[in-house]
Amino acid sequence: MERDVEVEPGVTLWVEDLPAQGAGGEPVLLVMGANASGMAWPDALVERLRTRHRVVRYDHRDTGRSSYAFDEHPYAVADLAGDATAVLDACGIARAHVVGMSMGGTLAQLLALDAPDRLASVTLLCTAALSADRDGLPGPAPELLRMWQEMADPRDERSELAWRVEHWRRLHGTALAFDAREFRALEQRLNAHAGRSDSPAAHAQADPGGLDRGDELATITVPTLVVEAPEDPVNPPPHASHLAERIGSAARLVTIPGMGHALPAGVVTPVAEAILSHAASAEGAARRR
């Protein structure tokens, strides 16, 4: 089922709410990364999660079919965590397993700090610990930083598609073979979903204030799975192990071999199995309590 959720006057989010196809665990909320539509979550991953869980994914503000209104309604990155709870409210979900990718992992950390009662568990993919200075760990690869300077540049539809595929190539890493056709098809699907082909870039303009909360991570009690992507050029190792260490006893670290800052077909199964196993473990621990 699709619905529009108003998060503030004049700003709505597109939400897709899919029922579980098997024995039901608690719902899963998928939170995508910066400037990315919820439809960037691979359907194969969504369908695997639906074997046990109701799955909700949504378009952030200024992506996909949600409102493009940053100039009229500016916001901070941290405000997008509130959007996630608004989506849960609109779907009538009291608690969910929250899975965050990249910036979505940043938002999931904020939820674990500020709304732990709404979370059955957290899974963090390709993300860094909340910190103003990245705790002195490596930053994004220089070639990505150069590309990001071009993100909002005007391009025709064909050039935009080529730019995005090349961006995915840089994000993907080199351990697994990069299939340009797979990511071209993904971007064509995202454009068809959004009804537009220009590059969303509002999140790069959003205020980063309120994210320097690394010292609070040790207070997280929500069961947290931190997924290390060894080929990630945005948050490369040891970011994942550092994040797990900052959270402490509530966190567990797993590595998906060959994974970069993307979800190609080759990593969907191990990522899905990691999420499912973590969710089942969290639910089992909650029942025992």
Q: With beta carbons less than 8 A apart as the criterion, state whether 87 and 118 touch.
A: no
Nearest Cα neighbor of 112 from 225, 33, 220, 212 is 220
Q: What is the pLDDT of residue 164?
A: 97
Crossing angle of the two packed helices 103-114 and 79-90, in degrees rounded to 10: 70
pLDDT of residue 236: 97
Q: Residue 261 catalytic? A: yes
Distance CA 274, CA 255 (A): 10
Coil, helix or strand for 30? strand
Its CATH class, for the domain covering 2-139+201-288, is: alpha beta
Q: Where are the alpha helices (DSSP H) in the chain?
A: 43-49, 79-90, 103-114, 142-149, 157-172, 180-194, 239-247, 265-288
Spatial CA neighbour of 79 closest among 107, 114, 46, 38: 107
pLDDT at 287 (0 to 100): 86
- Return the structure tokens found at 2: 């699709």
C-alpha 38/C-alpha 254 separation (Å) is 24
Per annotation, catalytic residue among 232, 239, 242, 278: 232
Predicted pLDDT at 288 = 86
289 residues of the chain, pLDDT tens digit each: 999 999 999 999 999 999 999 877 999 999 999 999 999 999 999 999 999 999 999 999 999 999 999 999 999 999 999 999 999 999 999 999 999 999 999 999 999 999 999 999 999 999 999 997 888 899 999 999 999 999 989 999 999 999 999 999 999 999 999 999 999 999 999 999 999 999 889 999 999 999 999 999 999 999 999 999 999 999 999 999 999 999 999 999 999 999 999 999 999 999 999 999 999 999 998 888 7
pLDDT at 133: 83
Is 89 tagged catalytic? Answer: no
Tell me which amino acid residue 27 is: P
CA dihedral 105, 106, 108, 114 (to 10 degrees): 170
pTM over 0.85? The answer is yes
Catalytic residue among 60, 97, 242, 261: 261
In the residue annotation, 232 being an active-site residue is answered as yes
Q: Which of the following is catalytic: 37, 66, 67, 102?
A: 102
76: which residues sit within 8 A by CB, 6+ positions away? Answer: 206, 207, 208, 209, 210
